[in-house]
């Protein structure tokens, strides 16, 4: 903070010093005025120069020096010359040259005094042999490089052929044709999951592809000389996907003890290992098995999650690798995941005896259904419907897009969003399977027991997993054209729907007895209508009939029915009473009565025409193939005048 020093800042001197006088005064060369500056620049222009810039710069440098030297000289001689003089001279020379050129061209054009002739340029001496030699040399060099490469390839190929080893790259190509592969840094990995097909399972299915070591290949080839060559690839699947797995679906009667249910099921007995387990498997089989294991795991995980979440009347149980669901009262559905890792540690001793029996019960159809259901879920995950018209939003299904214009209420929208879970669907299928089996059993037993009218059942060839249809015809042998009773039974999941010919629709439950009772009632109704039809054929008149008779003891099953037939000439009557539990009773009466005796009260003989009492006919002693036949014979016998 001492005394401040004055600093003066000056610009450097721009103008050159011309002269320094004796008293120290500097005389500056006056700066060039505008016109002088322009003159200086104009003198730098040289009209004889070419367009080459580089030459321009150099020549400019040279010529500026020349011009400056000339300039320095000239003021000595002719300082009064106009600075534009050189420019004017150069321009004048240029004009002269151009005029001369124009004159020459016009004279040459006239072709009278001057003609322009082309001059042949000197022929370049062609030396074809040199070219040929040059090309030959170049080609031989290229050929040498190619031959070198071919030699190397041929050597490796012959080596391979002599040793007869499988080719890694060909195998890799085959693998790539079937599976998706990716190269990640140094390794080749692949994906065997169903992710691109629409699966949303969290477990990945990544496998690694490596080169199989040569000793192993040689060993395998020496062991298995006649079979197919082992592959040069080795495929490593993750340990949790190794081995074989399948879903076992079993329908069985409800077990009292839950523990025995688990032990005796086939879930723990996993049959089926891959063939040739000890030796190295072909990669295709290995990968397919691993993919199947992943699929089964996804399926089982989904079913187990649904089993826990679903709210059924009898709750489903999930124990370890098994799901137990109640299909019908007394019937259980057991779904288990069998995964054989190849370690064979899954069979406790006590199971072996029952294992073989249980293996045959495993339901392949329901297992296939489960696979199809999961594949349908995958499919719907990827195949979303397209909007029509095309400007609509992607995503909503047809029902959803119609919900707005059709004014669906909240309830309908909620219903639309609900969908049936896999477990519910498979339970429905199992229920239907049982209902169908039961109905078949009932119909078959009735057909075996009842011989008199024949029971013929036709099952529809086309049916769905949850609905089947059977048409039952009841007819008598020989009288099928006369009378035939038919009914249709729709077998659903838990109920049956019977539609009779008269239009009545009856809904039956899953109890066998109901169907049995219904068929029996229909049989006896058939008998009654058939007898009336036979009577019509024979000319007998139907006097009365009643399908629900109120007289007699109360029937345990259905109602008694009866009919009254009169012969063509009116002297005989047949009364038939039909009861489903007891059977059929036939009574005949004739008029005039044979046992009429005149008594005090009834004196006139004419009262014998009123008709006698009914006497029962012993049907079992009568001749005739079946009831209708017997009735026909009876009617024939009674019709003839006696």
76 contributes a contact to other proteins by CB under 8 A: no
- DSSP assignment of 314-382: S--EEETTEEEEEEETTEEEEEEEEEE-SS-----GGGHHHHHHHHHH--HHHHHHHHHHHHHHHHHHH
Q: Cα(528)–Cα(522) distance, rounded to whole angstroms?
A: 10
Distance CA 293, CA 567 (A): 78
Kindly tell me which residue out of 228, 278, 405, 641 binds other proteins, with binding defined by CB under 8 A. 405
Figure out which of the listed residues 391, 569, 599, 640 binds other proteins, where binding follows CB under 8 A.
Answer: 391
- Residue with Cβ nearer other proteins (195 or 234): 195
CB 379 → other proteins: shortest distance, Å?
10
Span interacting with other proteins, options 199-207, 303-311, 389-397, 411-419, rule CB under 8 A: 389-397
- What token pair was written down for 220? 């395998």
Cβ at position 420, least distance to other proteins in Å: 24
The alpha carbons of the chain give a radius of gyration, in whole angstroms, of 57
Nearest CA to 300 among 246, 233, 254? 246
Subset of 279-318 contacting other proteins (CB under 8 A)? none
Nearer to other proteins, 386 or 597 (CB): 386
Contact code string over 583-602 relative to other proteins, x by CB under 8 A:
--------------------
- Smallest distance from the beta carbon of 408 to other proteins, in angstroms? 12
CA terminus-to-terminus distance, the chain: 169
Q: Report the residue number, 21 or 391, with the smaller CB distance to other proteins.
A: 391
Round to whole Å and give the CA distance between 244 and 296.
10
| Binds other proteins by CB under 8 A, chosen from 392, 478, 556, 624 | 392
Query: Shortest distance, CB of residue 378 to other proteins, whole angstroms?
Result: 12
DSSP 368-431: HHHHHHHHHHHHHHH-PPPPSSTTSPSS--HHHHHHTTTT--HHHHHHHH----HHHHHHHHHH
Binding letters toward other proteins, positions 368-387, x by CB under 8 A: --------------xxx-x-
Q: Which is nearer to other proteins, 236 or 401 (CB)?
A: 401
Sole binder of other proteins in the list 24, 76, 228, 389 (CB under 8 A)? 389
Shortest spacing between CB 118 and other proteins, in angstroms: 50
By CB under 8 A, which span of 296-304, 392-400, 491-499, 583-591 interacts with other proteins?
392-400
Asked if the bond preceding 633 is cis, omega within 30° of 0, the reply is: no
Q: Does 146 bind other proteins (CB under 8 A)?
A: no
State which residue, 234 or 399, has the beta carbon closest to other proteins.
Answer: 399
Distances (CA, A) of 23 to 18, 20, 26, 28: 15, 8, 9, 15
Among 116, 119, 390, 461, binds other proteins (CB under 8 A): 390
> How many CB atoms neighbour CB 425 within 10 A?
18
How far is Cα 505 from Cα 528, in angstroms, rounded to an integer? 21
User: What token pair was written down for 117?
Assistant: 């002739």
CA distance 312 to 326: 9
In the chain, count H helices and then E strands: 15, 20
List the structure tokens of 90: 């150069």
For other proteins, how many residues bind (rule: CB under 8 A)? 17
Instruction: Give the shortest CB-191-to-other proteins separation in angstroms.
Output: 17
C-beta of 6 vs 391, nearer to other proteins: 391
Among 203, 236, 341, 401, binds other proteins (CB under 8 A): 401
Considering only the stretches 199-207, 402-410, 428-436, 476-484, report the one whose residues sit in contact with other proteins under the rule CB under 8 A.
Answer: 402-410
CB neighbours of residue 399 within 10 Å:
14
State how far the alpha carbon of 156 is from the alpha carbons of 144, 159, 317, 468, in Å. Answer: 19, 5, 63, 66
- Work out how close the CB of 390 gets to other proteins at its nearest, in angstroms, rounded to a whole number: 5
Contact between 410 and other proteins per CB under 8 A: no
User: Per CB under 8 A, which region of 256-264, 388-396, 425-433, 611-619 contacts other proteins?
Assistant: 388-396
Contact between 408 and other proteins by CB under 8 A: the answer reads no
**C-alpha to C-alpha distances, 238 to 206, 230, 293, 299, nearest whole angstrom:** 7, 22, 11, 19
Min CB(370)–other proteins separation in Å: 23
Residue 320 binds other proteins, judged by CB under 8 A: no
Note whether 347 binds other proteins by CB under 8 A: no
Question: What's the CA gap between 401 and 458, in Å, rounded?
Answer: 43
Distance CA 327, CA 427 (A): 6
Alpha-carbon span 122 to 567, nearest angstrom: 143
Closer to other proteins by Cβ: residue 389 or 641: 389
Shorter beta-carbon distance to other proteins: residue 88 or 398: 398
CA dist., res. 619 & res. 621, Å (int): 5
Q: Give the interface with other proteins as residue ranges (CB under 8 A).
A: 382-384, 386, 388-394, 398, 401-402, 404-406
């Amino acid at each position: 903070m001492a005394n401040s020093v004055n600093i003066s800042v000056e610009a450097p001197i721009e103008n050159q010093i011309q002269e320094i006088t004796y008293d120290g005064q500097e005389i500056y060369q006056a700066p060039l005025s505008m016109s002088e500056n322009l003159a200086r620049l104009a003198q730098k222009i040289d009209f004889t120069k070419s367009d080459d810039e580089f030459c321009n710069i150099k020549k400019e440098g040279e010529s500026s020096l020349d011009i400056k030297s000339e300039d320095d000289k000239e003021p000595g001689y002719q300082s009064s010359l106009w600075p534009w003089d050189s420019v004017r001279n150069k321009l004048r020379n240029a004009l002269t040259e151009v005029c001369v050129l124009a004159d020459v061209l016009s004279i040459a054009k006239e072709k009278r005094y001057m003609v322009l002739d082309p001059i042949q340029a000197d022929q370049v001496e062609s030396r074809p042999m040199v070219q040929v030699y040059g090309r030959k040399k170049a080609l031989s060099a290229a050929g040498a490089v190619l031959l070198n490469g071919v030699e190397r390839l041929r050597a490796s190929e012959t080596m391979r052929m002599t040793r007869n080893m499988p080719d890694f790259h060909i195998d890799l190509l085959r693998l790539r044709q079937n599976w998706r592969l990716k190269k990640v840094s140094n390794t080749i990995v692949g994906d065997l999951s169903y992710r691109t097909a629409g699966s949303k399972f969290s477990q990945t299915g990544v496998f690694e592809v490596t080169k199989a070591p040569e000793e192993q290949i040689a060993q395998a080839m020496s062991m298995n000389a006649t079979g197919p060559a082992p592959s040069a690839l080795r495929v490593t699947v993750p340990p949790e996907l190794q081995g074989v797995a399948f879903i076992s679906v079993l329908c069985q009667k409800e077990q009292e003890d839950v523990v025995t249910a688990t032990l005796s099921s086939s879930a723990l007995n996993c049959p089926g290992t891959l063939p040739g387990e000890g030796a190295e498997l072909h990669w295709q089989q290995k990968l397919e098995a691993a993919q199947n294991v992943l699929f089964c795991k996804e399926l089982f995980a989904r079913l187990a999650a649904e089993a826990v979440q679903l709210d059924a009347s009898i709750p489903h149980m999930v124990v370890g690798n098994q799901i137990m669901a109640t299909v019908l009262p007394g019937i259980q559905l057991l779904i288990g995941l069998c995964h054989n890792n190849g370690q064979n540690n899954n069979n406790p001793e006590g199971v072996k005896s029952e294992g073989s029996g249980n293996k045959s019960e495993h339901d392949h159809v329901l297992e296939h259904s489960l696979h199809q259901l999961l594949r349908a879920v995958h499919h719907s995950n990827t195949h979303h419907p397209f909007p029509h018209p095309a400007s609509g939003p992607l995503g909503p299904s047809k029902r959803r897009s119609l919900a707005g214009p059709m004014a669906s209420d909240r309830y309908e929208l909620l219903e639309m969003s609900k969908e049936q879970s896999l477990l519910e669907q498979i339970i429905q299928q199992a229920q239907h399977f049982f209902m169908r089996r039961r109905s078949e059993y009932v119909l078959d037993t009735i057909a075996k027991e009842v011989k008199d009218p024949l029971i013929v059942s036709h099952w529809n060839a086309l049916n769905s997993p949850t609905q089947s249809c059977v048409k039952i015809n009841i007819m008598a042998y020989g009288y099928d054209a006369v009378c035939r009773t038919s009914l249709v039974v729709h077998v659903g999941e838990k109920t049956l729907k019977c539609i009779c010919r008269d239009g009545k629709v009856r809904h039956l439950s899953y109890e066998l007895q109901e169907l049995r009772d219904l068929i029996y009632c229909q049989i006896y109704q058939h008998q009654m209508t058939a007898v009336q039809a036979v009577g019509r054929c024979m000319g007998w008149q139907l006097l009365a009939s009643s399908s629900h008779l109120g007289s007699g003891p109360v029937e345990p099953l259905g109602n008694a029915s009866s009919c009254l037939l009169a012969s063509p000439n009116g002297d005989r009557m047949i009364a038939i009473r039909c009861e489903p539990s007891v059977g059929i009773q036939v009574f005949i009466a004739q008029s005039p009565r044979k046992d009429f005796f005149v008594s005090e009260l009834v004196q006139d003989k004419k009262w014998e025409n009123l008709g006698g009492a009914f006497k029962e006919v012993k049907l079992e002693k009568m001749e005739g193939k079946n009831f209708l036949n017997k009735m026909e014979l009876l009617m024939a016998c009674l019709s003839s005048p006696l």
